[in-house]
């Protein structure tokens, strides 16, 4: 199985799964399932991760290789 972008992004920031799980307010075991593609991530959590990593959901989902986020609407995080 290939590494997921979630794992790549987390490791690039020298973070542990427990660190990201705490940010998302979920258990580490649940986050681990997202990284290994055992469980599909919700749109809400996917959006939170894209904002946290300053990238796009398309990048996380491997729909693009462009790491830059889309321009955000005024007033959004």
pLDDT at 60 over 60: yes
Q: Name which CATH class applies to 5-60.
A: mainly alpha
* Span between the terminal Cα atoms of the chain, in Å: 33
Domain ranges within the chain, ordered by starting residue:
5-60
How far apart, in Å, are the Cα atoms of 74 and each of 25, 26, 56, 59? 26, 29, 17, 22
Per the model's pLDDT, the better-predicted residue between 68 and 73 turns out to be: 68
Condensed to tens digits (0 to 9), the pLDDT of residues 21-48 reads 999 999 999 999 999 999 999 999 999 9
Q: How confident is the model at residue 3 (pLDDT cuts 50, 70, 90)?
A: low
């Amino acid at each position: 199985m290939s590494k997921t972008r979630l794992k790549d992004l987390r490791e690039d920031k020298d973070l542990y799964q427990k660190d990201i799980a705490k940010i998302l307010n979920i258990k580490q075991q649940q986050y681990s399932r997202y990284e290994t593609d055992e469980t599909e991530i919700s749109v809400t959590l996917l959006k939170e991760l894209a904002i946290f990593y300053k990238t796009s959901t398309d990048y996380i989902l491997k729909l693009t290789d462009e790491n830059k986020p889309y321009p955000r609407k005024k007033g959004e995080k």
